[in-house]
Structure 1
Amino acid sequence: MDLSRYPLDLILMPLSICLTAGYHAYLWHASNAKNPVSNVGLSMKRRKAWAQTIVDDNNKKGILGVQSLRNSLMSAILSASIAILISTSLAALSNNAYNSRLLLRHAVFGSQTGPTVALKFASSSLLLLFSFLCSSMAVWCLVEANFLINAPGELFQGQAQRMLKRGWVLGLVGSRALYVTLSILLWSFGPVPVALSSVALVWVFYNLDFINGIGSKEVLS
Protein backbone atom coordinates (compact mmCIF):
# COMPACT_ATOMS: atom_id res chain seq x y z
CA MET A 1 0.00 0.00 0.00
CA ASP A 2 1.41 3.35 -1.09
CA LEU A 3 1.18 5.61 1.95
CA SER A 4 2.30 8.66 -0.04
CA ARG A 5 -1.05 8.73 -1.83
CA TYR A 6 -2.94 10.03 1.19
CA PRO A 7 -0.58 11.80 3.66
CA LEU A 8 -3.34 14.09 4.92
CA ASP A 9 -5.36 11.15 6.20
CA LEU A 10 -2.36 9.76 8.06
CA ILE A 11 -1.58 13.11 9.70
CA LEU A 12 -4.89 14.87 10.36
CA MET A 13 -7.08 11.92 11.32
CA PRO A 14 -4.87 10.65 14.19
CA LEU A 15 -4.43 14.24 15.40
CA SER A 16 -8.20 14.80 15.37
CA ILE A 17 -8.88 11.56 17.24
CA CYS A 18 -6.15 12.25 19.81
CA LEU A 19 -7.43 15.81 20.34
CA THR A 20 -10.99 14.68 21.01
CA ALA A 21 -10.00 11.66 23.10
CA GLY A 22 -7.42 13.66 25.08
CA TYR A 23 -9.94 16.37 25.89
CA HIS A 24 -12.50 13.90 27.18
CA ALA A 25 -9.84 12.06 29.18
CA TYR A 26 -8.95 15.33 30.88
CA LEU A 27 -12.65 16.11 31.37
CA TRP A 28 -13.14 12.75 33.07
CA HIS A 29 -10.14 13.40 35.34
CA ALA A 30 -11.34 16.92 36.19
CA SER A 31 -14.87 15.70 36.87
CA ASN A 32 -13.78 12.93 39.25
CA ALA A 33 -11.33 15.05 41.21
CA LYS A 34 -11.93 15.81 44.87
CA ASN A 35 -12.71 19.42 43.96
CA PRO A 36 -14.09 19.20 40.41
CA VAL A 37 -13.43 22.20 38.18
CA SER A 38 -15.82 21.19 35.41
CA ASN A 39 -19.53 21.70 35.04
CA VAL A 40 -19.92 17.97 34.56
CA GLY A 41 -18.35 17.15 37.93
CA LEU A 42 -20.24 19.90 39.73
CA SER A 43 -23.49 18.82 38.10
CA MET A 44 -22.94 15.20 39.16
CA LYS A 45 -22.37 16.31 42.76
CA ARG A 46 -25.54 18.38 42.73
CA ARG A 47 -27.50 15.55 41.17
CA LYS A 48 -26.16 13.13 43.75
CA ALA A 49 -27.31 15.41 46.57
CA TRP A 50 -30.68 15.86 44.86
CA ALA A 51 -31.10 12.11 44.44
CA GLN A 52 -30.27 11.62 48.11
CA THR A 53 -33.06 13.98 49.18
CA ILE A 54 -35.54 12.30 46.83
CA VAL A 55 -34.67 8.80 48.03
CA ASP A 56 -34.65 9.74 51.72
CA ASP A 57 -38.13 11.22 51.54
CA ASN A 58 -39.72 9.28 48.71
CA ASN A 59 -43.19 9.42 50.26
CA LYS A 60 -43.40 13.17 49.65
CA LYS A 61 -40.96 13.68 46.78
CA GLY A 62 -41.29 10.45 44.79
CA ILE A 63 -43.59 12.02 42.20
CA LEU A 64 -41.33 15.08 42.02
CA GLY A 65 -38.35 12.82 41.32
CA VAL A 66 -40.17 10.97 38.54
CA GLN A 67 -41.25 14.23 36.92
CA SER A 68 -37.76 15.70 37.20
CA LEU A 69 -36.21 12.66 35.51
CA ARG A 70 -38.51 13.09 32.54
CA ASN A 71 -36.14 15.58 30.88
CA SER A 72 -33.20 13.19 31.23
CA LEU A 73 -35.30 10.40 29.74
CA MET A 74 -36.38 12.56 26.80
CA SER A 75 -32.77 13.58 26.13
CA ALA A 76 -31.53 9.98 26.14
CA ILE A 77 -34.41 8.82 23.92
CA LEU A 78 -33.73 11.66 21.47
CA SER A 79 -30.01 10.79 21.28
CA ALA A 80 -30.78 7.11 20.70
CA SER A 81 -33.34 7.93 18.00
CA ILE A 82 -30.99 10.28 16.15
CA ALA A 83 -28.12 7.79 16.34
CA ILE A 84 -30.09 4.87 14.93
CA LEU A 85 -31.68 7.10 12.26
CA ILE A 86 -28.30 8.36 11.03
CA SER A 87 -26.90 4.82 11.18
CA THR A 88 -29.75 3.52 9.03
CA SER A 89 -29.34 6.37 6.54
CA LEU A 90 -25.60 5.77 6.43
CA ALA A 91 -26.13 2.11 5.61
CA ALA A 92 -28.47 3.07 2.78
CA LEU A 93 -26.02 5.61 1.35
CA SER A 94 -22.98 3.36 1.60
CA ASN A 95 -24.04 1.50 -1.55
CA ASN A 96 -23.44 4.63 -3.64
CA ALA A 97 -20.21 5.58 -1.88
CA TYR A 98 -17.96 3.89 -4.42
CA ASN A 99 -19.56 5.88 -7.24
CA SER A 100 -19.53 9.22 -5.43
CA ARG A 101 -15.84 8.91 -4.57
CA LEU A 102 -15.01 9.51 -8.25
CA LEU A 103 -16.03 13.16 -7.76
CA LEU A 104 -13.47 13.74 -5.01
CA ARG A 105 -10.12 13.10 -6.62
CA HIS A 106 -8.18 16.14 -5.36
CA ALA A 107 -5.46 15.54 -2.76
CA VAL A 108 -7.21 17.77 -0.23
CA PHE A 109 -10.04 15.22 -0.02
CA GLY A 110 -7.61 12.51 1.07
CA SER A 111 -7.73 8.94 -0.10
CA GLN A 112 -10.90 7.82 -1.90
CA THR A 113 -9.93 4.21 -2.53
CA GLY A 114 -12.32 1.39 -1.78
CA PRO A 115 -10.84 0.29 1.57
CA THR A 116 -10.59 3.88 2.81
CA VAL A 117 -14.21 4.66 1.92
CA ALA A 118 -15.29 1.47 3.69
CA LEU A 119 -13.25 2.52 6.75
CA LYS A 120 -14.95 5.92 6.79
CA PHE A 121 -18.43 4.45 6.83
CA ALA A 122 -17.49 1.64 9.22
CA SER A 123 -15.98 4.00 11.81
CA SER A 124 -19.03 6.27 11.69
CA SER A 125 -21.40 3.31 11.96
CA LEU A 126 -19.57 1.87 14.97
CA LEU A 127 -19.64 5.20 16.80
CA LEU A 128 -23.34 5.60 16.05
CA LEU A 129 -24.10 2.12 17.34
CA PHE A 130 -22.05 2.85 20.46
CA SER A 131 -24.02 6.07 21.00
CA PHE A 132 -27.30 4.20 20.51
CA LEU A 133 -26.23 1.51 22.97
CA CYS A 134 -25.24 4.01 25.67
CA SER A 135 -28.39 6.09 25.23
CA SER A 136 -30.60 2.98 25.30
CA MET A 137 -28.92 1.74 28.48
CA ALA A 138 -29.36 5.23 29.98
CA VAL A 139 -33.09 5.03 29.30
CA TRP A 140 -33.27 1.62 30.95
CA CYS A 141 -31.34 2.82 34.03
CA LEU A 142 -33.50 5.92 34.46
CA VAL A 143 -36.73 3.97 34.03
CA GLU A 144 -35.53 1.43 36.58
CA ALA A 145 -34.60 4.26 38.94
CA ASN A 146 -38.13 5.64 38.66
CA PHE A 147 -39.50 2.40 40.09
CA LEU A 148 -36.82 2.15 42.78
CA ILE A 149 -37.42 5.71 43.98
CA ASN A 150 -41.06 4.93 44.70
CA ALA A 151 -40.38 1.49 46.16
CA PRO A 152 -41.43 1.24 49.82
CA GLY A 153 -38.83 0.90 52.55
CA GLU A 154 -35.09 1.58 52.59
CA LEU A 155 -34.06 -1.62 50.85
CA PHE A 156 -33.76 -0.07 47.36
CA GLN A 157 -32.40 3.38 48.26
CA GLY A 158 -28.78 2.60 47.48
CA GLN A 159 -29.73 0.79 44.28
CA ALA A 160 -31.84 3.77 43.18
CA GLN A 161 -28.91 6.15 43.58
CA ARG A 162 -26.60 3.84 41.64
CA MET A 163 -29.09 3.49 38.81
CA LEU A 164 -29.56 7.25 38.64
CA LYS A 165 -25.82 7.84 38.42
CA ARG A 166 -25.40 5.16 35.75
CA GLY A 167 -28.27 6.62 33.74
CA TRP A 168 -26.84 10.14 33.85
CA VAL A 169 -23.31 9.01 32.94
CA LEU A 170 -24.49 6.74 30.11
CA GLY A 171 -26.69 9.53 28.76
CA LEU A 172 -23.73 11.91 28.73
CA VAL A 173 -21.47 9.36 27.02
CA GLY A 174 -24.14 8.58 24.41
CA SER A 175 -24.69 12.23 23.53
CA ARG A 176 -20.95 12.96 23.33
CA ALA A 177 -20.41 9.93 21.09
CA LEU A 178 -23.15 11.26 18.80
CA TYR A 179 -21.51 14.68 18.57
CA VAL A 180 -18.12 13.15 17.79
CA THR A 181 -19.72 10.97 15.11
CA LEU A 182 -21.06 14.04 13.34
CA SER A 183 -17.45 15.21 13.05
CA ILE A 184 -16.25 11.82 11.78
CA LEU A 185 -18.97 11.86 9.11
CA LEU A 186 -17.18 14.82 7.51
CA TRP A 187 -14.32 12.43 6.69
CA SER A 188 -16.22 11.66 3.48
CA PHE A 189 -15.20 15.14 2.32
CA GLY A 190 -11.60 14.68 3.39
CA PRO A 191 -9.49 14.86 6.55
CA VAL A 192 -9.33 18.67 6.59
CA PRO A 193 -13.04 19.14 7.51
CA VAL A 194 -12.62 16.51 10.23
CA ALA A 195 -9.66 18.33 11.76
CA LEU A 196 -11.41 21.70 11.64
CA SER A 197 -14.63 20.31 13.07
CA SER A 198 -12.73 18.49 15.84
CA VAL A 199 -11.05 21.73 16.91
CA ALA A 200 -14.39 23.55 16.81
CA LEU A 201 -16.07 20.72 18.72
CA VAL A 202 -13.45 20.73 21.48
CA TRP A 203 -13.72 24.51 21.74
CA VAL A 204 -17.51 24.30 22.12
CA PHE A 205 -17.19 21.47 24.67
CA TYR A 206 -14.62 23.46 26.62
CA ASN A 207 -16.92 26.47 26.91
CA LEU A 208 -19.78 24.23 27.99
CA ASP A 209 -17.85 21.96 30.37
CA PHE A 210 -15.69 24.48 32.22
CA ILE A 211 -16.87 27.62 33.97
CA ASN A 212 -13.93 30.02 33.97
CA GLY A 213 -11.28 27.91 32.31
CA ILE A 214 -9.35 24.83 33.23
CA GLY A 215 -8.05 24.97 36.76
CA SER A 216 -9.56 28.38 37.46
CA LYS A 217 -9.00 29.60 41.00
CA GLU A 218 -12.44 31.19 41.05
CA VAL A 219 -14.03 27.75 40.68
CA LEU A 220 -11.91 26.25 43.46
CA SER A 221 -12.54 29.12 45.89
Structure 2
Amino acid sequence: MEWRKWYLDAIIVPLALVMMLCYHIYLYLMVRSHPFSTVLGINSRGRRLWISAMIKENHKTNILTVQTLRNIVMGATLMATTCVLLCAGLAAVISSTYSIKKPLNDAVYGAHGDIAIAVKYLTILTIFIFSFFCHSLSIRFLNQVAILVNIPNLDPNPSGDLFLTSEYVSELFEKGLLLNTVGNRLFYAGFSLMLWIFGPILVFLSVLVMVLALYHLDFVPCSSNKEKQSGLSSRL
Protein backbone atom coordinates (compact mmCIF):
# COMPACT_ATOMS: atom_id res chain seq x y z
CA MET A 1 0.00 0.00 0.00
CA GLU A 2 2.89 2.40 0.55
CA TRP A 3 3.69 2.48 -3.16
CA ARG A 4 0.19 3.75 -3.91
CA LYS A 5 0.39 6.86 -1.76
CA TRP A 6 0.42 10.34 -3.19
CA TYR A 7 4.00 11.18 -2.18
CA LEU A 8 5.36 9.16 -5.12
CA ASP A 9 3.67 11.57 -7.52
CA ALA A 10 4.71 14.60 -5.47
CA ILE A 11 8.39 13.63 -5.47
CA ILE A 12 9.24 11.52 -8.50
CA VAL A 13 7.36 13.45 -11.21
CA PRO A 14 8.69 16.92 -10.21
CA LEU A 15 12.16 15.37 -9.92
CA ALA A 16 11.88 14.08 -13.49
CA LEU A 17 10.71 17.47 -14.77
CA VAL A 18 13.51 19.26 -12.92
CA MET A 19 16.02 16.85 -14.42
CA MET A 20 14.78 17.62 -17.92
CA LEU A 21 14.76 21.37 -17.20
CA CYS A 22 18.31 21.29 -15.83
CA TYR A 23 19.51 19.44 -18.92
CA HIS A 24 18.06 22.07 -21.24
CA ILE A 25 19.49 24.90 -19.13
CA TYR A 26 22.88 23.24 -19.43
CA LEU A 27 22.35 22.83 -23.18
CA TYR A 28 21.43 26.51 -23.51
CA LEU A 29 24.54 27.60 -21.62
CA MET A 30 26.73 25.38 -23.78
CA VAL A 31 25.17 26.75 -26.96
CA ARG A 32 25.88 30.28 -25.76
CA SER A 33 29.41 29.69 -24.50
CA HIS A 34 30.70 26.79 -26.67
CA PRO A 35 28.40 26.67 -29.71
CA PHE A 36 30.65 24.37 -31.74
CA SER A 37 30.41 21.67 -29.09
CA THR A 38 26.67 21.30 -29.72
CA VAL A 39 24.68 20.31 -32.77
CA LEU A 40 22.33 23.25 -32.20
CA GLY A 41 25.19 25.75 -32.24
CA ILE A 42 26.78 24.31 -35.38
CA ASN A 43 23.43 24.19 -37.18
CA SER A 44 22.73 27.78 -36.19
CA ARG A 45 25.97 28.96 -37.78
CA GLY A 46 25.25 26.88 -40.86
CA ARG A 47 21.76 28.33 -41.24
CA ARG A 48 23.11 31.87 -41.13
CA LEU A 49 25.58 31.01 -43.88
CA TRP A 50 22.77 29.41 -45.87
CA ILE A 51 20.49 32.45 -45.60
CA SER A 52 23.32 34.76 -46.65
CA ALA A 53 24.14 32.55 -49.66
CA MET A 54 20.49 32.27 -50.70
CA ILE A 55 20.07 36.05 -50.61
CA LYS A 56 23.24 36.73 -52.58
CA GLU A 57 22.33 34.19 -55.28
CA ASN A 58 18.62 34.88 -55.18
CA HIS A 59 18.16 34.84 -58.95
CA LYS A 60 19.65 31.32 -59.08
CA THR A 61 18.45 29.73 -55.86
CA ASN A 62 15.00 31.22 -55.28
CA ILE A 63 13.23 27.93 -56.04
CA LEU A 64 15.55 25.99 -53.73
CA THR A 65 14.96 28.53 -50.96
CA VAL A 66 11.17 28.37 -51.24
CA GLN A 67 11.15 24.56 -51.34
CA THR A 68 13.41 24.29 -48.29
CA LEU A 69 11.31 26.70 -46.26
CA ARG A 70 8.14 24.97 -47.42
CA ASN A 71 9.43 21.63 -46.14
CA ILE A 72 10.24 23.16 -42.74
CA VAL A 73 6.81 24.78 -42.54
CA MET A 74 5.13 21.50 -43.45
CA GLY A 75 6.99 19.74 -40.64
CA ALA A 76 5.97 22.41 -38.11
CA THR A 77 2.38 22.25 -39.39
CA LEU A 78 2.30 18.48 -38.92
CA MET A 79 3.53 18.81 -35.35
CA ALA A 80 1.02 21.57 -34.58
CA THR A 81 -1.82 19.46 -36.02
CA THR A 82 -0.74 16.47 -33.96
CA CYS A 83 -0.72 18.59 -30.81
CA VAL A 84 -4.24 19.84 -31.54
CA LEU A 85 -5.49 16.29 -32.04
CA LEU A 86 -3.91 15.13 -28.79
CA CYS A 87 -5.36 18.12 -26.94
CA ALA A 88 -8.82 17.33 -28.32
CA GLY A 89 -8.49 13.69 -27.28
CA LEU A 90 -7.30 14.58 -23.79
CA ALA A 91 -10.10 17.13 -23.39
CA ALA A 92 -12.61 14.47 -24.39
CA VAL A 93 -11.19 12.03 -21.84
CA ILE A 94 -11.21 14.65 -19.06
CA SER A 95 -14.85 15.56 -19.72
CA SER A 96 -16.00 11.95 -20.04
CA THR A 97 -17.47 9.71 -17.37
CA TYR A 98 -15.99 6.45 -18.64
CA SER A 99 -13.79 4.21 -16.53
CA ILE A 100 -10.88 4.86 -18.88
CA LYS A 101 -9.95 7.73 -16.57
CA LYS A 102 -8.91 5.08 -14.03
CA PRO A 103 -6.89 2.56 -16.03
CA LEU A 104 -5.49 -0.48 -14.27
CA ASN A 105 -6.23 0.75 -10.78
CA ASP A 106 -4.67 -2.26 -9.11
CA ALA A 107 -1.42 -1.86 -11.07
CA VAL A 108 -0.91 1.90 -10.84
CA TYR A 109 1.60 3.10 -8.27
CA GLY A 110 1.10 6.47 -6.67
CA ALA A 111 -2.17 8.35 -6.40
CA HIS A 112 -5.00 7.46 -8.77
CA GLY A 113 -8.06 9.11 -7.27
CA ASP A 114 -10.37 11.50 -9.09
CA ILE A 115 -8.31 14.58 -8.22
CA ALA A 116 -5.02 12.87 -9.09
CA ILE A 117 -6.38 11.71 -12.45
CA ALA A 118 -7.62 15.23 -13.22
CA VAL A 119 -4.22 16.74 -12.34
CA LYS A 120 -2.42 14.23 -14.56
CA TYR A 121 -4.58 14.87 -17.61
CA LEU A 122 -4.57 18.64 -17.14
CA THR A 123 -0.77 18.69 -16.86
CA ILE A 124 -0.38 16.66 -20.05
CA LEU A 125 -2.94 18.85 -21.82
CA THR A 126 -1.09 22.02 -20.79
CA ILE A 127 2.21 20.69 -22.16
CA PHE A 128 0.68 19.90 -25.54
CA ILE A 129 -1.05 23.30 -25.68
CA PHE A 130 2.28 25.08 -25.18
CA SER A 131 3.84 22.83 -27.82
CA PHE A 132 1.11 23.84 -30.28
CA PHE A 133 1.67 27.49 -29.39
CA CYS A 134 5.40 27.24 -30.14
CA HIS A 135 4.83 25.48 -33.46
CA SER A 136 2.24 28.08 -34.48
CA LEU A 137 4.65 30.93 -33.79
CA SER A 138 7.37 29.04 -35.65
CA ILE A 139 5.15 28.83 -38.74
CA ARG A 140 4.50 32.57 -38.50
CA PHE A 141 8.21 33.46 -38.47
CA LEU A 142 9.06 30.99 -41.24
CA ASN A 143 6.35 32.43 -43.48
CA GLN A 144 7.85 35.89 -42.99
CA VAL A 145 11.28 34.53 -43.90
CA ALA A 146 9.87 32.95 -47.07
CA ILE A 147 8.75 36.40 -48.22
CA LEU A 148 11.74 38.47 -47.13
CA VAL A 149 14.43 36.07 -48.33
CA ASN A 150 13.30 36.52 -51.95
CA ILE A 151 13.72 40.29 -51.97
CA PRO A 152 16.41 40.99 -54.59
CA ASN A 153 19.50 42.94 -53.58
CA LEU A 154 18.58 42.88 -49.92
CA ASP A 155 22.03 44.26 -48.99
CA PRO A 156 21.96 47.14 -49.73
CA ASN A 157 18.21 47.46 -49.84
CA PRO A 158 16.90 49.41 -52.87
CA SER A 159 14.56 51.39 -50.65
CA GLY A 160 17.43 52.50 -48.44
CA ASP A 161 15.91 50.84 -45.37
CA LEU A 162 18.84 49.89 -43.17
CA PHE A 163 16.68 47.71 -40.93
CA LEU A 164 15.72 45.22 -43.65
CA THR A 165 18.98 43.32 -44.07
CA SER A 166 20.13 39.73 -44.44
CA GLU A 167 21.01 39.73 -40.75
CA TYR A 168 17.41 40.61 -39.90
CA VAL A 169 16.15 37.74 -42.07
CA SER A 170 18.63 35.40 -40.37
CA GLU A 171 17.32 36.44 -36.97
CA LEU A 172 13.75 35.69 -38.03
CA PHE A 173 14.86 32.32 -39.37
CA GLU A 174 16.63 31.51 -36.11
CA LYS A 175 13.58 32.50 -34.04
CA GLY A 176 11.33 30.31 -36.15
CA LEU A 177 13.57 27.25 -35.84
CA LEU A 178 14.19 27.90 -32.13
CA LEU A 179 10.43 27.88 -31.49
CA ASN A 180 10.18 24.73 -33.57
CA THR A 181 12.84 23.08 -31.42
CA VAL A 182 11.14 24.18 -28.19
CA GLY A 183 7.82 22.85 -29.47
CA ASN A 184 9.42 19.50 -30.28
CA ARG A 185 11.03 19.24 -26.83
CA LEU A 186 7.69 20.01 -25.17
CA PHE A 187 6.08 17.37 -27.36
CA TYR A 188 8.63 14.81 -26.15
CA ALA A 189 8.00 15.82 -22.55
CA GLY A 190 4.27 15.43 -23.09
CA PHE A 191 4.71 11.87 -24.28
CA SER A 192 6.79 11.05 -21.22
CA LEU A 193 4.13 12.55 -18.97
CA MET A 194 1.48 10.40 -20.64
CA LEU A 195 3.07 7.47 -18.85
CA TRP A 196 2.08 9.23 -15.62
CA ILE A 197 -1.35 7.71 -16.13
CA PHE A 198 0.20 4.36 -15.23
CA GLY A 199 2.37 5.66 -12.40
CA PRO A 200 5.16 8.16 -11.61
CA ILE A 201 7.98 5.59 -11.80
CA LEU A 202 7.51 5.17 -15.54
CA VAL A 203 7.71 8.94 -15.97
CA PHE A 204 11.07 9.11 -14.24
CA LEU A 205 12.49 6.21 -16.25
CA SER A 206 11.19 7.67 -19.50
CA VAL A 207 12.66 11.11 -18.80
CA LEU A 208 15.98 9.56 -17.78
CA VAL A 209 16.20 7.63 -21.04
CA MET A 210 15.14 10.71 -23.00
CA VAL A 211 17.79 12.93 -21.39
CA LEU A 212 20.50 10.38 -22.15
CA ALA A 213 19.32 10.07 -25.76
CA LEU A 214 19.09 13.86 -26.22
CA TYR A 215 22.57 14.32 -24.77
CA HIS A 216 23.91 11.86 -27.32
CA LEU A 217 22.13 13.73 -30.13
CA ASP A 218 22.71 17.33 -28.97
CA PHE A 219 26.44 17.26 -28.33
CA VAL A 220 29.27 16.74 -30.79
CA PRO A 221 32.06 14.26 -29.94
CA CYS A 222 35.17 16.01 -28.67
CA SER A 223 37.31 14.64 -31.49
CA SER A 224 35.35 16.51 -34.14
CA ASN A 225 34.78 19.77 -32.22
CA LYS A 226 38.00 21.46 -33.28
CA GLU A 227 37.66 20.43 -36.93
CA LYS A 228 34.12 21.78 -37.25
CA GLN A 229 34.93 24.90 -35.30
CA SER A 230 37.94 25.73 -37.47
CA GLY A 231 36.00 25.08 -40.67
CA LEU A 232 32.99 27.20 -39.76
CA SER A 233 35.11 29.95 -38.20
CA SER A 234 37.09 30.32 -41.42
CA ARG A 235 33.90 30.70 -43.42
CA LEU A 236 32.43 33.20 -40.98
TM-score by length of 2: 0.83
How far apart, in 1, do the equivalents of 2:206 and 2:97 lie?
22
CA contact (8 A) 1:148 1:160 kept: yes
How much is the aligned-residue C-alpha RMSD, in angstroms?
Answer: 2.1
Q: Please name the residue that 2:225 is paired with.
A: 219
Distance 1:169 1:206 in 2: 18
Q: How far is 1:110 from its partner? A: 0.9
* Distance in 1 (alpha carbons) for counterparts of 2:103 and 2:92: 19
User: Aligned runs of 1:53-202 on 2, under 5 Å?
Assistant: 53-96=53-96, 99-100=99-100, 102=102, 104-106=104-106, 109-154=109-154, 155=157, 156-157=164-165, 158-202=167-211
Secondary structure of 1:110's aligned partner: coil
When the two structures are aligned, how many residues end up with a matched partner?
215
Scaled by the length of structure 1, what TM-score is found?
0.88
Q: C-alpha distance in 2, partners of 1:85/1:101? A: 18
Q: Structure 1 vs Structure 2: percent identity of aligned residues?
A: 30
Bigger mean CA offset, 102-111 vs 24-33: 102-111
- Please state whether the residue corresponding to 1:109 is helix, strand or coil: coil
CA contact (8 A) 1:6 1:107 kept: no
Gaps of 5+ in 1: none
Superposition deviation, residue 178 in structure 1 = 0.6
Instruction: Answer whether contact 1:184 1:194 (CA < 8 A) is retained.
Output: yes
Q: Unaligned 5+ residue runs, structure 2?
A: 158-163, 228-236
Structure 1 residue 18 displacement after superposition: 0.9
Decide whether the 8 Å contact of 2:80 with 2:136 is kept in 1. Answer: yes
1:23 aligns with 2:32: no
